[in-house]
Chains A and B, each alone.
Chain A
Amino acid sequence: MFIIQCPWCGDRDQTEFSCHGEAHIARPKNTESMTDEQWGDYVFFRSNPKGMHRERWVHAHGCRRWFNALRDTATDEIFATYKVGETPPEIPESSSANTSTGNASGDRS
């Protein structure tokens, strides 16, 4: 069993949650002046790191609130969960993030 800590409800089973991809992707403000390539990049392209990844999760069977999680995609370990709007926690040094490619630090926001 895989336990995830909901920032509101505390420790709950994985099956109560669902994951909805990379977090901290802000909608561009200059949508009229963007090229198709830029728009396609925003809509379709996500980083796919091996290692630490910031993700959006929702406590679907629980309080139905969205929150963010810092998860290692290689080990499936969740290092932290935090509410939307909160400062993302630092990536632990001991993680496998050092081996990742891509922008696991979430600098796309």
Chain B
Amino acid sequence: MTVKFDNVTPADMATPLLAANHSSDGLLMQELSLTGKISLRGDFANSAVRDAVQQSMSLPVEIDANTFDRVGDGTVFWLGPDERMIYSDIGSVDKHISDLRGKLPGGCSVVDVSDYYTVIRLSGEKVRAVLASGTPLDLHRSVFSKGQCAQTRFGTASVLLSVHDDIPVMDLQVRWSFAEYVWKYLCKVADYC
């Protein structure tokens, strides 16, 4: 499926694939509308850092490696020992960022990366087969199940995969400029899986 540029509303323009979607037997793929994304770096062993994020966004930041946690409309992903990705409603990102910057101690970094990445949601029984065509990550449900996330590669693009349901429903976060490449790759292999 190719990305079409006619009949595009301003809301669709906010994402690189213009809210593209694909459906075939056992597979649904949809680019999600723009989500607020905050890149947070700091020493999460420091209770002052944990408390600041808890107070600002009600989110825990001390989570296991390669897992994510969702509280309300906020989601926090483990990206590295000192790095987290936080999703929130796009309308409240500015407020969250100023709130975090006000509360966090020195040595932390809070950056709005909402329009640096886009998220493609994949659901259906063929999700694992389609993703396995491009990533070396072990996607078997016994080792990659609900609540887990992993940064890996899909083709040559660095992506963040997360499992939201064991149906399965998975989200693939990719950099804006790689989105079309990944989308075309996914659509192509969907025909063969």
A residues adjacent to B (C-beta < 8 A) = 1, 8-13, 15-16, 60-65
A8-B80, A8-B81, A9-B65 known; A62 vs B136 contact (CB < 8 Å): no
- Interface of chain A: mostly helix, strand, loop or mixed: loop
Q: Is B152 in the interface zone, CB < 8 Å from A? A: yes
- Interface of chain B: mostly helix, strand, loop or mixed: strand
Partner of A9, one of B66, B83, B136, B158: B66
Chain B residue contacts of A61, Cβ below 8 A: 151-153, 158
B residues adjacent to A (C-beta < 8 A) = 65-66, 79-81, 83, 136-138, 150-153, 158
* B159 CB → nearest A CB, Å: 8
Partner of B151, one of A1, A13, A63: A63
Q: List 16 A-B contacts (CB under 8 A).
A: A8-B80, A9-B65, A9-B150, A12-B136, A12-B137, A13-B137, A15-B136, A16-B136, A16-B152, A16-B153, A61-B151, A61-B153, A62-B150, A62-B151, A63-B80, A64-B79
* B139 CB → nearest A CB, Å: 12
Known: A12-B136, A64-B151. 11 other contacts (CB 8 A): A8-B65, A8-B81, A9-B150, A60-B158, A61-B151, A62-B150, A62-B152, A63-B80, A64-B79, A64-B80, A65-B80
**5 nearest A-B residue pairs (beta carbon):** A13-B136, A63-B80, A61-B153, A62-B151, A61-B158
Chain B residue contacts of A60, Cβ below 8 A: 158
In the complex formed, the residue of A with least CB distance to B135 is A13
* A85 CB → nearest B CB, Å: 12
Bound together, the chains give a CA A61 to CA B55 distance in angstroms of 32
* A99 CB → nearest B CB, Å: 32
Bound together, the chains give a CA A60 to CA B137 distance in angstroms of 14
Chain A residue contacts of B151, Cβ below 8 A: 9, 61-64
Task: Decide: A1 and B150 in contact? CB cutoff 8 A.
Answer: no
Bound together, the chains give a CA A10 to CA B152 distance in angstroms of 12
A8-B65, A12-B136, A16-B136 known; A63 vs B152 contact (CB < 8 Å): no
In the complex formed, the residue of A with least CB distance to B78 is A63
* A61 CB → nearest B CB, Å: 4
Bound together, the chains give a CA A94 to CA B158 distance in angstroms of 38
Chain A residue contacts of B137, Cβ below 8 A: 12-13
Bound together, the chains give a CA A85 to CA B19 distance in angstroms of 45
Chain B residue contacts of A8, Cβ below 8 A: 65, 80-81
Most B CB contacts (10 A, CB to CB) among A11, A12, A61 go to A61
Partner of B153, one of A1, A9, A15, A65: A15
In the complex formed, the residue of A with least CB distance to B80 is A63
Chain B residue contacts of A9, Cβ below 8 A: 65-66, 150-151
* B135 CB → nearest A CB, Å: 9
Bound together, the chains give a CA A11 to CA B138 distance in angstroms of 9
* A33 CB → nearest B CB, Å: 34
